[in-house]
Chains A and B, each alone.
Chain A
Amino acid sequence: MTDQEVMTRRPVNAPPKDNNWLTPIVWGVVAAAIIGIIWSGWTAGSGNPILFNNQKTHNWLVSAIFNPTSPAQKIFVMILAILLFIVVMGLILWLIDRPRVPNGVVVAGFLGPIIIALATGLLWSAIKTIFQSFRKFDQFGTDIGWNGFKNYTHFFTPAFSNMLVNTVLWVFLVPILATAFGLVYAVLVDRTRFEAAAKALIFLPTAISLVAASVIWKYVYYSPSAPGNPQVGILNAIVTAFGGKASDWTLHFPTGTVALIVVMIWIQAGFAMTVLSAAIKAVPDDIVEAAKIDGATGMRLFRSITIPTIRPTLVVVITTVAIGALKTFDIVNVMGGNLPANNIIANGFYNNLSVQQYGLAGALAVLIFVIVSPIIVFNVRQMRKSEAIR
């Protein structure tokens, strides 16, 4: 900000020095909220819930807010939440929107809510999970002391070799194949008459949930029928039509993982295609024309002009899909039948979480964190680069 800007602003926003006691008080409230939430989370497990005890009976209003059962209660609490949010935020904005409010208080009004949310919900939670990944928990989820690195080494044993191998397969196969399909398709339909419709077809799976996608593919991989009966799954029908033997595609290692990876590719190719298509269209026409005049055609033009120009975008797409593949557990959870043969780290995390093995779950969460952070840093750097080119 230049001096001139400060000068023009001063009459409006700059606070008189004398009432600057307000700023530390407001920020003190923000800090107190953070500490209060962290403290109550730390001491959890002891004593009663602070707001609502679902062991007791409550009247309609209280149970609508904390334990809604009827449709009316659910709609009521949804509207209440939105209205409450509007009223609280409106009140905050109304309070800070007056001439004599110090700048620090205005900032607290704009940023306070997200600072509280992120400091407690993400920062503190991440720290506590890292802490818990070194603790031992009994079968009721009660912390019973230090466990060293045992939660981590637990997974680097032969019993979990499938999980680790599968995760590697997911992180490499999904991004590479999804990007390859997306790129080929984007090039093939580029500047054709049906481009918009053709792209929408591939893009549609991006919008639906991984759970619904898993149901869709369940009928592709449907297990073999009893001898003499028609096949239900289209894959087994095709295989048997060509004289092959029907099999259970999602039960064994590593075919099960490959089958599940295909589903993820099916979903992610649309994303890759859309982003790459935009990048291809942004390749400057004069470069393409120059190459054509030099005699480059078809494949050669694609290899020596298009690919190098969109390389930063390609890297962004591949890393973004890889991050998704590492963190996604829905397909394995829904389709994989919870078999060790199909397990991946993200699914192992949820399995341990659901049986209250917080130490083991925490170790896997930290493992995801450790693997994913460098990819994201790399991804963001490349995104900056590709934006600079665009």
Chain B
Amino acid sequence: MTTTTPPLIVVPETVSGRKLKAQMRALDAKTKLSSPWASGIAIIIALLWTLPTIGLLVNSVRSQPGPSTSGYWKFFNGPVNFTFGNYSNAWTGNGGGTPLSSYLLNTIAITLPAVFIPITLALLAAYAFAWIDFKGKNILFVAVFAMQIVPIQVALIPLNTIYVKFGLNTSFWSIWLSHTIFGLPLAIFLLHNFMKEIPASLVEAARVDGAGHVKIFLQVLLPLLVPAIASFGIFQFLWVWNDLLVALTFSSTNTSPITKGIQGLTTQFASAADVLPAAAIIAMIVPLAVFLSLQRFFVRGLLAGSVKG
């Protein structure tokens, strides 16, 4: 973008000749970074990063047995062998295996509560830590903050014992609860940061008007936090949708999400090879759509530290 160049053009009347020369040189330096070499390297990196995905996309629409007998680039110089059959076979489970539609339904059933519940709980907790005074607040906040260092691997086995004891191991509840627990520490920390940025005068004004904590939370703070909620919401959504570890550990045959379904397809590669590319594309569509449409919030969350440690 050229936002910094116009001043350079305006200044000549006010600057000495020597300085002007230096500024021209600076302009050169700037253009040097976008030299043909630099563009060439950038294009090569971009190609390297895009080609594997394009290969999968092409393979997903090739008629069988194309994808497993020749490279995807053969698609372009052979007879026309375009088909959507792989997608319909993957979707309906034609040719054996669980239909992908059922895995996708499980993923949706897992994702919606597993995003909604932790964000709501984290918002409440973040509010309490930011705007309610009580004894032991600092210790409790540090304790919650410190929970971020616990890797989820450490929690899986004991959680599973608890779920089995309650009889939840064939249900969605175990998966919802796990994602809620694992998402909470970071969610609280981030939303607390956003919550702290809201001017205290707003909250004080509401208090003077006689509003209690619940009213302040719902009517004053919540509307202001919508961008923050969107930022973290996208992250939680992508984690849950793309998760494999929690799915493999806690989901049963009836509750397996799409990631586990595709992992299953890859382990029986020979027989499932026909539908594998199409299945992977189906699994990617929703997160990519969400990502592309809400990229602004995604980047904001990223810069605020929304990366699970």
Binding site for B on A (CB under 8 A): 1, 5, 8-9, 11-13, 37, 40-41, 43-45, 49-54, 65-69, 71, 74-75, 77-78, 81-82, 85, 89, 93-94, 96-99, 103-104, 106-107, 109-111, 113-115, 117-118, 120-126, 128-130, 132, 181, 184-185, 187-192, 195, 198, 200-212, 214-220, 225, 229-234, 237, 266, 269, 271, 274-275, 278, 285, 289, 292-293, 295-298, 301-302, 320, 323-324, 327, 329-330, 333-335, 346, 349-350, 353-354, 358, 361-362, 364-366, 368-369, 372-373, 376-377, 379-380, 383
Contacts and interface: CB of A to CB of B under 8 A. Distances in A.
A13 B42 CA distance: 60
B contact residues, range: 35 or more
Contacts of A365: 151, 153-154, 156-157
A118 B147 contact: yes
A368 B155 contact: no
B226 interface: no
A81 B168 contact: no
Given A126-B155, A372-B309, 17 more contacts: A12-B207, A13-B212, A40-B165, A44-B162, A66-B168, A68-B172, A111-B128, A111-B140, A130-B154, A181-B45, A188-B33, A203-B295, A216-B56, A330-B244, A358-B157, A368-B154, A380-B148
A210 B127 CA distance: 34
Nearest to B45: A185
| Chain A interface mostly | helix
A324 to B, nearest CB: 7
Interface in B250-309: 252, 254-255, 259, 262-263, 266, 276-277, 279-280, 283-284, 287-288, 290-292, 295, 299, 302-303, 305, 307-309
11 contacts: A66-B168, A114-B121, A121-B181, A126-B155, A188-B42, A209-B243, A216-B280, A292-B22, A334-B262, A365-B154, A372-B151
A231 B172 CA distance: 43
A77 B109 contact: yes
Contact of B303 (A68, A218, A275, A369): A275
A82 B116 contact: yes
Contacts of B202: none
Nearest to B40: A188
Contact of B154 (A44, A104, A129, A292): A129
A59 B209 CA distance: 52
| Chain B interface mostly | helix
Nearest to B283: A212
A322 to B, nearest CB: 10
Interface string B116-135: 11001110110110001110
A198 B262 CA distance: 29
Contacts of B59: 219
B89 interface: no
B157 to A, nearest CB: 5
Interface of B: 1-2, 4, 19, 22-23, 25-26, 28-30, 32-34, 38-39, 41-42, 45-46, 49-53, 55-56, 59, 67-74, 102, 105-106, 108-109, 112-113, 116-117, 120-122, 124-125, 127-128, 132-134, 140, 144, 147-159, 161-162, 164-173, 176-178, 180-182, 184-185, 188, 204, 207-208, 210-215, 218, 238, 241-245, 248-249, 252, 254-255, 259, 262-263, 266, 276-277, 279-280, 283-284, 287-288, 290-292, 295, 299, 302-303, 305, 307-309
